[in-house]
Amino acid sequence: MTAVLERVDQQLEVDDDSLYEVVHGQRKEKASMGMLQAWVASTLLVVLDNFVRSHRLGKVIAESLFVLDPATDSQRRPDLAFVSRQRVGKPTQTAAWDVVPDLAVEVISPTNRAPEVLEKIHEYFAAGVQLVWVVYCQPRQVYVYRSTTNIQVLTPADTLEGDDVITGFTLPVAKLFEDLDDIEEPAVRTE
């Protein structure tokens, strides 16, 4: 009977459409991205996925839950992730993928808090993630974390590179944000 209940619990997790992460064993709801952030994340997903597919390097996936540390029951959901062909394995019906991504991408929304983002970056590297990109739509910058202390800030004048993680991948940062010029910014309230 216990095994049946565990399977029901696992199936409920799989059927749960809400975005959440598990931080030190505690389920935390994850807020949806804002429109600008979703726009930029979609652009990056298409460009990155096209490159990875054409070079048969692995899998690019959006909003998937990854088991980072089974001992502390930490499961994180990067906005985008790349998993190399060597790590991919076969997808399962579980709620969380029991693999550590090679690259994790966070696109910062107005609801993100700096301490939480930094905690997540530290967890990524502790779990074995090799590269983290943190994308800010305003002021149009990409922070490239090669470790928790090796950080490079890219502006639209720079080029985002995949380093040794996604060898050969390059994207001018200006291209990542170019469609934002066509989106009308909400008026700033002065009251």
Predicted local confidence at residue 110, as pLDDT: 87
- Cβ pair 80, 60 in contact under 8 A: yes
Q: What burial class does residue 18 get, using C-beta atoms within 10 Å of its C-beta: 0-12 exposed, 13-18 middle, 19+ buried?
A: exposed
Predicted local confidence at residue 16, as pLDDT: 54
What separation in angstroms does the CA of 20 have from each of 34, 124, 148, 150?
Answer: 16, 16, 24, 29
- Cβ pair 168, 55 in contact under 8 A: yes
The H or E element that residue 103 is part of is: strand 103-108
Only one residue has tokens 């001018």, namely 172
Predicted local confidence at residue 131, as pLDDT: 98
| pLDDT digits (tens), the chain, 191 positions | 334 334 334 434 444 567 877 887 888 888 778 888 999 999 999 999 999 999 999 999 998 999 898 888 889 999 999 999 988 877 776 778 789 999 999 999 988 899 999 999 999 999 999 999 999 998 999 999 999 999 999 999 999 999 999 999 999 999 999 988 776 555 444 45
Predicted local confidence at residue 47, as pLDDT: 97
Rounded Cα gap, residues 83 and 67, in angstroms: 13
Number of other CB atoms surrounding residue 152 within 10 Å: 12
Question: Any idea what DSSP says for residue 181?
Answer: G
Predicted local confidence at residue 11, as pLDDT: 39
Predicted local confidence at residue 28, as pLDDT: 84
Q: Domains of the chain, with CATH numbers?
A: 21-182 (3.90.1570.10)
Contacts of 178 (CB under 8 A, 6+ apart): none
Backbone phi and psi for residue 84, each to the nearest 5 degrees, phi listed first:
-65, 155
